[in-house]
Structure 1
Amino acid sequence: MSKPTGSTINQTPDAQLDLRGTPCPINFVRTKLRLEQMTPGSLLEVWLDPGEPIEQVPDSLAMAGYPIEALDDRKGYFALRVRRPQVSA
């Protein structure tokens, strides 16, 4: 039996967003809008196509201040886990 590795050990996403077939930069915009609707600290799993989407979206989210928790290759698409930051006091 294999053990999970990295930050995927005990984190179940609070929501999923399937953006396969969605072009850049629409996939980034939709991901960011969905994160803004979620509770601070929530985890979103986004399904992205290989190529430009997986090359651009994680970097764009990180630059916008969203922590990337995991990126899994799932044969034909990628599952990106990104967290909505906690609100600072």
Structure 2
Amino acid sequence: MNNTNIVEFPPHDRAIDITGETCPMTFVRTRLALDSLPPGAVLLVRLKGADPRANVPRATADQGHDLLDMFDLPDGSAVLVIRKASA
């Protein structure tokens, strides 16, 4: 069996998939997910498209959260790894 397409995700507290959303709902969904987490928690956000890839990381950083990583998946989507800001 070929396991080359298996992706190992980093440790996280919650994950959301916003690949079906368009801006500005991509950030709204991300912000709501972050608001539900305690400070220091890690959120994975799966997204797709040029606008979300540019806007969600920028808006997240503007809110004071840390973008730890962003990596591409084989299907053309990407995953953001975000640590919620400390209170």
| Alignment correspondent of 1:69 | 68
Match of residue 4 from structure 2 = none
Q: Structure 1 vs Structure 2: percent identity of aligned residues?
A: 32
CA apart distance, 1:85: 1.2
> Which residues of 2 match residues 47-62 of structure 1 at below 5 A?
47-62=46-61
Q: Which residue of 2 aligns with 1:36?
A: 35
RMSD of aligned Cα (Å): 1.0
> TM-score of the superposition, structure 1-length normalised?
0.82
Q: CA deviation at 1:37?
A: 0.7
Query: 1:32, 1:53 → 2: CA distance?
Result: 13
Amino acid at match of 2:81: R
3-state SS of paired residue (1:45)? strand
- Asked whether 1:86 is paired with 2:86, we answer yes
Distance 1:83 1:35 in 2: 9
Displacement of 1:50: 2.5
TM, length-normalised to structure 2: 0.83
How many angstroms apart in 1 are the aligned matches of 2:61 and 2:83?
A: 10
SS of the residue 2:39 aligns to = coil
